[in-house]
Chain A
Amino acid sequence: ELKVEQNPLFLSMQEGKNYTIYCNYSTTSDRLYWYRQDPGKSLESLFVLLSNGAVKQEGRLMASLDTKARLSTLHITAAVHDLSATYFCASNTGNQFYFGTGTSLTVIP
């Protein structure tokens, strides 16, 4: 069974600041997924990282993958209130996906 751990679980940050969410996974996998979930809503795909060293950026979010360290990061640059949400990372083995417990991000004006 693949285990996925995220930290921190809760993050409160001021607008304009930078921060990084970390995602560790337990077994060899070449793929890492990041999702966003707004309160009471479904999950929306943010990034799919397919190989070691992959980096993807969209707006103020940038995700990277180090398969040797089994680590992915989601970096937030100059946070704005609209980024407040819960962020999940997930990895897969075979056809099964395993999700982290999520990072609840609150951006404070």
Chain B
Amino acid sequence: NAGVTQTPKFRVLKTGQSMTLLCAQDMNHEYMYWYRQDPGMGLRLIHYSVGEGTTAKGEVPDGYNVSRLKKQNFLLGLESAAPSQTSVYFCASSYPADFTDTQYFGPGTRLTVL
């Protein structure tokens, strides 16, 4: 099993450009999450999904959109990138029937917006 994978690993954007980050998991997990990690701030939840076709806002959703068209994929979109969105983005998944709700994280995407 590959676990949780993220594409791309690195990206540089200019202000105003758009892009989509792809997260894929092969563990048949129901729940998927997008976080951003900034120095000194830990991880903050952007959006999450509790199943195919569902999405919900997290702590810092502004400027981002998400879609969960297939159970194994969770896409994070930036419609008009801003320098404040420079960050490392992590995707995670979990299986609610597993009582521990342990989250499994992808390797991260390092995004720089100039």
Contact = CB atoms under 8 A, between A and B. Distances in A.
Interface string A34-54: 000000011111001010000
Residue picked from A44, A45, A90, A100, most chain B C-beta under 10 Å: A45
Contact of A97 (B45, B56, B100, B107): B45
Interface stretch (B18-26, B36-44, B70-78, B79-87): B36-44
Interface in A29-76: 31, 33, 41-45, 48, 50
A42 B105 CA distance: 6
Contact of A48 (B35, B45, B100, B104): B100
Contacts of A43: 43, 90, 92, 103, 105
Nearest to A43: B105
Given A43-B105, A96-B48, A50 B90 contact: no
A42 B90 contact: yes
B96 to A, nearest CB: 9
A31 B101 contact: yes
A95 to B, nearest CB: 6
A102 B42 contact: yes
B56 A95 contact: yes
A9 B44 CA distance: 17
B42 A45 contact: no
Given A48-B102, A101-B42, 18 more contacts: A4-B42, A42-B90, A42-B105, A42-B106, A45-B102, A45-B104, A48-B100, A48-B101, A50-B99, A88-B43, A90-B43, A95-B50, A95-B56, A97-B43, A99-B35, A99-B42, A99-B43, A100-B42
Interface of A: 1, 4, 9, 31, 33, 41-45, 48, 50, 88, 90, 92, 95-102
Which 6 A/B pairs are nearest by Cβ-Cβ distance?
Answer: A99-B42, A48-B100, A99-B43, A101-B42, A43-B105, A42-B105
19 contacts: A9-B40, A33-B103, A42-B90, A42-B106, A42-B108, A43-B90, A43-B92, A48-B100, A48-B101, A48-B102, A50-B100, A95-B31, A96-B48, A96-B58, A97-B33, A97-B43, A99-B35, A101-B40, A101-B42
